[in-house]
Structure formats: structure tokens, C-alpha cells
Structure 1
Amino acid sequence: MCLPGIFIVTLLTLSIPAVHGGKVLVFPQDGSHWINMKVIIEALHSRGHSVSVVRPSDSWYIKETSPHYSSIPIDIPGGADEQFFSSFVSRQIQIQREGKSAWTRFSLDMELKDRFSEMHRKVCEMVIQMLENEPLMQSIRETKYDLVLTDPANGGGVVLAHYLNVPLVFNVRWTIHGEAHFAIAPSPLSYVPFPVAELTDNMSFFQRVRNFLVYVIRQHLYKQTVGPHYSALVSRYFSPEVDYFSLFQAADLWLMRVDFVFEFPRPTMPNVIYMGGFQCKPAKPLPQELEEFAQSSGEHGIIIMSLGTLIGQLPHDITDEIAAAFAHLPQKIIWRYKGDRPATLGNNTLLVDWMPQNDLLGHPKTRLFVAHGGTNGIFEAIYHSVPIVGLPLVFDQHDNLSRMKVKGVAKVVDLATLDRNIFTRALQEVLNEPSYRMNMQRLSRLHRDVPMGPLDTALFWIEFVMRHKGAAHLRTESYRMPWYSYHSVDVMVFLLAVVLFTLLAFIGIIRCFCCRACLKIKMKEE
């Protein structure tokens, strides 16, 4: 080969990045969490990595076969099937509509505790069956996975990673103990709002009292919900002295599904990587039927409504009120809804079983997004600059929408008091007040103005962990410290003891000098 040809071949070889096809074991959380986990799995597959997904027998969204991963079927329920979530959400809506009393709040918390305790019990049973299945575990060991990728909303992947002694990466917003930052990052309750409290980072005295109380009560509730199950599991396979939650805190990397366009400013850690909106992408053309419907809206545009993967339908009286409000608007409405056709449905409203939500939000005719407040939908709305009317139902949705409300991009409607007049006023306010769209456009500019896309950032750090067999240099060891050392209680007690000892010694010396002086005076007088 001539010299120029050798030079060109060498140049091309050097310009192609070295690709290491890693092996990733995924222990997912079903439902809406799987939707964003699937985005990462598909991206890993596209970069040449081999992905295996643990799939329980009652999987709802996780398909047994896929071109992007191979499944590891487990012949036992994982506790998070469609029936579990649909019945739970229906019960939560029923309780909410009974009023906003302290008893209602208590009822919601107890319902959450009982249902999720049952789910985590089943997760632990599934993990036990996996670990006791020697042929399965031998196969997993022989595969020599480079890391375990899991959603810490359940603890199965955490236990599995530590059992296999494999680096652990989280796709996370919530752990079994609540919002993820509170698990590893300093979280002063004076200005870091606990999500369930629905507060901001600028709290009055009584709001700080509320923030503190909600934090203490919720942490106790979480421990009561998951503690008995995971403590028994960890004790069985590791040691009774091992705190189950310390296994979570030892994760190498936390891929956090938010960013600081959504999150309030707060302390963080070096192994927390922010990838909020990683599932967002430019809109693709709509199917012909939806495109024709959107174009028929003229200058008024369209409104889209979706309450996420968990809520296909609402109580009939609520849907009738929503449909009646829509019927009086000049806009066209595309509503993802699976229930019976509302009696008050107008000719301007199209009911669909499924919608290409991202593509609709990116359509130039879209004026408003009626949403339940899940983080996936919120980030898609931010990405495409679409203001929100929120109908929060369960989990973190109330807090998510309260954050959007504070930023001036959303109007929140309470489901317990919703009627057609209240809903119509909320829709018209967001449609007609320019500040909602202007504020959302500002958030969108901030969200997009980054040196690397959030999905590319997540993939870089996953591959970083593969290359370096973990990321221990980014992980604080503070989780190994007892609480009194972490908060320097022992140091303060020691310093207080030194001060008291010094003070007592000083007083003793003064008293000694005083006594000797008195004795000399007395001797002179005698």
C-alpha cells in the first residue's frame, strides 16, 4: 500500500472512538418508571452494550422479548402489576374527594403504607427466589456484568448488586425512603423543602416547622413500610449488623431525573449526575388523523390532556365536568382516555387510547397541556415550552405541580373541588395570560442551554463506571458514620466537656486561692 493510503487508513482508525461492549444487568421498576428506564436501555444497546432485564411474572410494561435487551424471567410476581397500581390510584382518588382534613391525610398515608409494604414484600420474595436459584445465579455470575442499573424505588437491584459485588448505578428520583437527595446529600430543612410538604426554598418560620414535621413523619412512615422486609433480606444474605439503607447509599452513581430548572437550589454530591428531560426529543410528524385534527383547529390551536400511564379513567362525574368545560372552548382537544364516553363530550374533543405525547407537545398548534404532574410529562412540557393545567392525583404529582406553579408556568386544580366552572376558569387563565407561556419559554431556554444533552451525559457516566469498575472516588463515606458522628454531636459533647472541665478547674483554682487568702488573713488576725 502506498504511503498516502497507509496515512489515510491510520487517520480513520484513530478517529473512530474505541467502543467497549459492556454488559449491563437491569433490575427495573414497572409502570411509568419503566418508560424512562427503557430510553436508557435503548441508548445503551445502540452503543453496542449488552443489556439483560430482570422480569417478574406479573410484568405490566416490561415485555419478555425485545430487540434491545434479553430478559431474565422470574416465575414469581414482583408486586407492581397493573391491578396493583390501578386499584391504588382509584382508592387514593376516593379518599382525596372526601375532603382535606387531617383524617384524610392520615388515611392517604396509611393506604400508601399498606399497599407499598405489600409491594416491597413481594420484591423481597422475588430476590430470595433469585438468590436461592443456584443455576440462575451461576449463569448471572458467569456473564460477568460490568454494572447493575436499577431504579431504587424498590430495593431488589441494590441487594443483587451487592451480592454480586458489581458496581451499582441508579436511575433515580425516589428511593424506598423518599426523595433521593435526602439519602446522600446534606439537606438542611431550613431551606430544602421536603417534597411532600409542597413548599419552596424560601420558607417562613411556620413553613419551616411544617417542613420539619412532614420530614420526620414521612421518614418514620417509609421505615415502617420497607424496614421489616429489607432488614430481614439483608440480614439473611449479608449480616445482621448491615443497615439495609447503607447499601443504597453505597451506590457508585446517581443518575437524577431532574435538573435545576425543576429542582430548587440545594447541596448535592459529586456522584449525583443530573439528567432531567433525558427522554425529551424533537417532535416527529403526527399520524395523519391527528395532524388533520390539529390543523382543523385554525388559529385557536389544540389542547392535549393525558393523566399518564397509571390513570386511564376518572370517576364519571369528574369526566363529565371536564368534558363539559372542554366543549365550551374554541380550541380542539385531544384527550387520552380509556373509560366510557362522557355524556357531555363536545364535538371539539377527540378521545384516544394512546397519543404520541412528545410529538403533540412539540406541535406548533399546541397551546396547553392538561397533565397529572408526573416528571416525564413535566419535562416534555418544559422542553417544548407548553404551559400546564395540573390535575395532581397521587405520589409526587402535587409537589411537582406546586413547583411549576411557583415558577409561573402552571395552574393547579384540586380534583376534590373540580367542576366545569373551576376547570374552565383555569384553562382560560393559562390560555389567555401570556406570562404562563413566556415563563415556560424561559425555562425551556435554560433547560436546553447545556454543553451536552442529558441522555448523552447519562450514557457517558454509565460507561465511565464500566471503564473504571465503579466510581468510589466520587462517593462520600459519610453513610458509614453513626448519626452522632455525622452531625458532630460527639465533637460538641467533647468540646462542651472540655469547656466545663476548664471552667470547673478555673473555679477550683480561684476557690483555692480565696481559701488560702482567707486563711492568711485569719492567721494575721490571731
Structure 2
Amino acid sequence: MYISPASSKSTPSSWILCKDDGWTSNYELSLKTCQLEAHESLSEMYRLTLVVLAALLCSAALVNGGKVLVFPVEGSHWINMKVLIEELHSRGHEVTVLRPSDAWYVKAESPHYKSITLNAASGVNRDNMGNFVKRTLEMQRQGASFWTRMALEIDLVKEFYEMNRVLIVLMEKMFEDNKLMQSLHDAKYDLVLTDPTYGGGVLLAHRLGLPLVLNVRWTIHGEGHTSIAPSPLSYVPVTGSELADKMTFTERVKNMLTYFFVCLQIMYVIDPLYKPFVHRHFGPDVHYIELFQSADIWLMRNDFTFEWPRPTMPNVVYMSGFQCKPAKPLPKELEDFVQSSGEHGVIVMTLGTLVEKLPEDITEDIAAAFAQLPQKVIWRHKGKRPSMLGKNTLMVEWLPQNDLLGHPKTRVFVAHGGTNGMQEAIYHGVPLVGLPLMFDQPDNFFRMKARGVAKVLDFETMNRDNFLEALKEVLYQPSYREKMKVLSSLHRDQPMKPLDRAMFWIEFVMRHKGAAHLRTESYKMSTIQYHSIDVVAFLLAVVLLVFTVSVAVIKFVWRRLFGRHKVKKE
């Protein structure tokens, strides 16, 4: 038995006998009673909270769990589309992916989506792209002459024409397959998500009458902005011109000529393929580019740390670097190799999904240059092992690019200039040595060079000496890393993550069945209406009419006044 006073001034009446034959105060008994009641109340609130949360989760799944139909593009384009698909799946959305019979990267089985394999080929497969890359590299090795450049452009145009021709054949087969089209219609998808580098997904979305979201950097007309936003040639460089937004008169002439060349490509490559198809299936009064321009949301794989400042539109959403993320730990063997570099650090080299190997003489030069550096090198290469390969170089068939770029010991990234690699380098703040080969790669590296974060080499003239010199310059001149850190800071300083922004707008389209209020009506205008040529012609006609009438009136008055005076005089 123990006695414990409630306070120094407690009275005998404030003490009671507890069940354990101990004495305690009324105050303590009240406190215990309150604690017990509070505990029971909290338990009840906890159970109620669990019920409410369960109800909310169920209702959220019912409300937000949409159905998305994806029409992807192969290669590196699929890599970033897959990021969106996985995020949609994690948010409870049901994703269905259409894939051609010759699909390369797009697998039939996945835990993140269901697939429908079409009974037709797309033409964009490993063999075709491998042959194209091989031809391109061989032609580039012939020298940097005007005729070599023209041969490369002609071959690229032919390849682009063939890809789109095969795609139109695929779409024709799809539209003629009544059973397939009916099943897609009956599935009641909420929207179509597609990459408009080719037009298949755009055509399908309009055929099904579904809202359309584009995962875009390119359309069949070139860089995405040019299809939807004003693009003055005076300060918006055409992709391929390798120009900045500040142009001299000569550079503006070059920009205009590049624009005319792109227009010729569209006229002779794209128009003959898409116009007849669209007229046949959507009506003779529909222009195919209108189908692209009427998309609800353009998720642009770009931002203004990479793009030059330019006009844009309300339904263009910038999500540059949406595929970037903090680095994960490397596999033990790779981490041990990286750590063995000591204070010198590591160089990472990969040339993307299309270029798995280079000509043997080039690989020998690259290996020899790497061997002369104190840094360790991790090089993705599937070709023959170079005889000049140094002990500091680890050659692999695959590497975790994002995780290596995010490693604190990575000093330089040797890359081909694909958009994904550029954005990951910016995100992690790693300076670049560029070896651009084809497509938009030279233009991408020009932008990095202009910002002082990359040293760029020409594939035609690259050798052991200038490659080694470029590596040393980027490694040992602090300005490259410092400027890339600034660029990285600008890129990361955003109110929300790019992937979250992309998800918001995809779900926005689901919730509201489109985003028509963000679309301009300009795409419905003819060229004459868009540029107000008819208005200018009308105003000029009015001015000319007023001028003509004024002159006639003046002449009439002159004759009346001075003609009568002359008659009187006579």
C-alpha cells in the first residue's frame, strides 16, 4: 500500500482505496478514466478513418482508373513512352498498347500493359534500322563534301518515305479490319496516347473519335512546335540548320533555305502518302495536318534549358527530363570498377539504341585515346573488341546510363546526341563530348555546344588525336562542368516534377473528355486566312478604290471650275 498526495494541499477526503489495496487520489482516478475514454475514442476514430480511406480508395479507382490506348513508335521513342505507361499503370489506369508484327522494342508481354499485336509490319525493325545506320556511317566516312551531304539527305528522305509508306499500308489494313476496329470501339477507351513522329496514332484517334494526347518532339512535318505554334524564321531556327536564335543576315538566309528544303520534303514525301488516305477515310475537305493540330494536349519532350526561346501554345505542356530520376546504386562489380578510379573519376560512353557498333578503325582510335587517360572508362559497344583497348576501359553490351550519369565519380559523357541522353546529362550535370551521327543529333549537340557544356566532333574527321584532345578539354577545363551545373540547376528548379505534370494533363483529358478550350482555331484556317492575306488584299482594294474615286472627283471638280473659267475667258 502506498500514499501519494494529489498536491501539497490535499485533504484526507481526496484519497481513495484502489482495487489493488493501494491508495490513490480522485485526481489520478479521473485522469485514468479520461485516458481510457480517450483511447477508446481514438480507436473508434482510427477504425472510422480506415473505413473512410477504404471508401475513398475504392471511389478513386472507380473515378480515376481510366483506359488508355497507346500507339507507340519503336526504338528510343518507345523507351520514353514506356516511362509514361509505367506511371499510368502505377496510378491505376488500364493501358493497352498496339504493336506491329515486326515490333522490336515493344514486347507483347508486360506487367504494365496489355498488348494487341497487329497483323501487319511497321517497317521500323532492327534489321531495317541496322542497315540504314550502316549505310549512313559508310557514307559519312567518304568525307565532308557537299555531295556526301546531299547523298546523306537523299538517303534519309528515302528512308523516311519508306517508313511512312509502310505505316500507311498498316493503317489501311487496320481500318479495313472491321472486327479489330469494332473491338477498339467497344473497349470505350478514354483517350489515345501516341508519338506523332509517324501519323498512325493520330489517324486512329480520329477514326475512333477519342481525345488525343501527343508524346512529342517530332511530327511528320518536323519539330513539333512548327505544326502548332507560330514559328518566325527571323529568330526560330529550323531544325537541321544548326543555328541559334540570334542570327546574322547570312544565317537568316540559311534558315530560310533550310525551311524551303523541309517544305519540299513535305511536298514530295509526306503529302503524296497522307493526303489520299485522309481524303479516303475522313473526307476530301480534311487536310491531314489538321488531325495533328487538333490534338488536345502536346506533351513536349523539351524545355527552355534546351530549346531556344520561341512562341508556344496553351495546350503545349513541357516535360523535358520526365524520364530522369535520381541514380540508383550500381551493381557491385560495376561499383567496384567505378570506385577503383580514385580521384580521377569515370568516363561513360554509349551511342544509343541504334548504333551498337562502329567501324573497326574508329573503335581502335577511340580505344587508343581512352588508354592514354588516367580515368576509368565504361563503354557500351557490341562490336569486335579493339586490340588497343586499355586496362582502364570496361567494355559492356549494356549499361545503366541514368545511374552512371548520376554517380558522383562520373566526369564526362561521350554520347551521340539523342534527346534522352542529352536530358539525362543535363539532369545530372555531366558535361559532354559529342559524336553526332544522324537525324536530330547534330542539331541537339549544336545547342549544347552553344551553351558551353559540350565539345563536338565530326564523325568524318574524328581520329585518335582530336578525340583525345576533346576528352582532355572537357575533363580539365572547369567551365564545361560549371556551366552544366548551372543548366542542371535551371532544369531542376520547377514547381512540380515533369512526370507529374505529364500525368496531370493526361488525367485532365480523361476527366474532361478532352481539352478543346486550350486549342486554337487557327488549324481550321487556310493559309490565306491564317496570314490575313485576304484582309490585307481587301484593305488594299479599299485604299485603291478610295484613291481612284478621290482622283476622279478632283479631276471632275478641276474640269468644272477651270473648264468653265476657260470658256468664259474665250
Distance of 1:463 and 1:519 partners within structure 2 = 81
2:313 corresponds in structure 1 to 269
1:110 corresponds in structure 2 to 154
Distance of 1:160 and 1:43 partners within structure 2 = 23
Distance of 1:202 and 1:263 partners within structure 2 = 13
Deviation of the 1:103 alpha carbon: 1.9
1:412 corresponds in structure 2 to 456
Aligned pair partner of 1:146 in 190, 200, 209: 190
What amino acid does structure 1 have at the position aligned with 2:280? R
1:113–1:222 Cα contact (<8 Å) kept: no
1:379 corresponds in structure 2 to 423
Q: Does 1:473 align with 2:517?
A: yes
What amino acid does structure 2 have at the position aligned with 1:75? N
Deviation of the 1:7 alpha carbon: 6.2
SS in 1 for 2:561: helix
Aligned pairs for 1:7-406 within 5 A = 8=49, 12=53, 18-19=60-61, 20-406=64-450
Distance of 1:452 and 1:4 partners within structure 2 = 33
Deviation of the 1:517 alpha carbon: 2.1
SS in 2 for 1:519: helix
Distance of 1:38 and 1:469 partners within structure 2 = 23
Between structure 1 and structure 2, the one with the greater Rg is 2
What amino acid does structure 2 have at the position aligned with 1:160? L
Deviation per CA, 1:237-277: give whole Å up to 9, x if none.
11122111111111111000001110111000000000000
Aligned pairs for 1:420-439 within 5 A = 420-439=464-483
Deviation of the 1:216 alpha carbon: 1.3
Gaps spanning 5+ residues in structure 1: where? none
Deviation per CA, 1:85-124: give whole Å up to 9, x if none.
1111121222222233332222122111111111111111
Gaps spanning 5+ residues in structure 2: where? 1-39
What amino acid does structure 2 have at the position aligned with 1:337? H
What amino acid does structure 1 have at the position aligned with 2:504? F
Deviation of the 1:222 alpha carbon: 2.9
What amino acid does structure 2 have at the position aligned with 1:182? T
SS in 2 for 1:479: helix
SS in 1 for 2:320: coil
Distance of 1:50 and 1:224 partners within structure 2 = 40
Deviates more, 1:260-269 or 1:493-502: 493-502
Distance of 1:328 and 1:63 partners within structure 2 = 41
Distance of 2:52 and 2:206 partners within structure 1 = 43
2:486 corresponds in structure 1 to 442
What amino acid does structure 2 have at the position aligned with 1:189? L
Distance of 2:131 and 2:267 partners within structure 1 = 23
User: Residues 318 and 516 of structure 1: is their aligned pair in 2 closer, same or farther, counting only changes over 3 Å?
Assistant: same
Distance of 1:495 and 1:236 partners within structure 2 = 38
Deviation per CA, 1:252-311: give whole Å up to 9, x if none.
110000011101110000000000000000000001111111011111000000000000
Distance of 2:495 and 2:200 partners within structure 1 = 34
1:301–1:367 Cα contact (<8 Å) kept: yes
Greater relative contact order: 1 or 2 (C-alpha under 8 angstroms, separation 6 or more)?
1
What amino acid does structure 2 have at the position aligned with 1:371? A
Deviates more, 1:135-144 or 1:413-422: 135-144
What amino acid does structure 2 have at the position aligned with 1:463? E
1:189–1:212 Cα contact (<8 Å) kept: yes
Distance of 2:165 and 2:508 partners within structure 1 = 34
What amino acid does structure 1 have at the position aligned with 2:60? A
Distance of 1:521 and 1:259 partners within structure 2 = 76
What amino acid does structure 1 have at the position aligned with 2:80? N
Deviation of the 1:5 alpha carbon: 5.7
Distance of 1:8 and 1:342 partners within structure 2 = 65
SS in 1 for 2:548: helix
Distance of 1:5 and 1:163 partners within structure 2 = 50
Distance of 2:218 and 2:181 partners within structure 1 = 28
What amino acid does structure 1 have at the position aligned with 2:454? A
Deviation per CA, 1:39-96: give whole Å up to 9, x if none.
0000000000011111101111010100000111112111100112111112122222
TM-score, scaled to structure 2: 0.90
Deviates more, 1:213-222 or 1:432-441: 213-222
SS in 2 for 1:350: strand
Distance of 1:9 and 1:33 partners within structure 2 = 42
Deviation of the 1:135 alpha carbon: 1.5
1:178–1:222 Cα contact (<8 Å) kept: no
Instruction: Compute the RMSD of aligned alpha carbons.
Output: 1.5
SS in 1 for 2:166: helix
Distance of 2:304 and 2:541 partners within structure 1 = 43
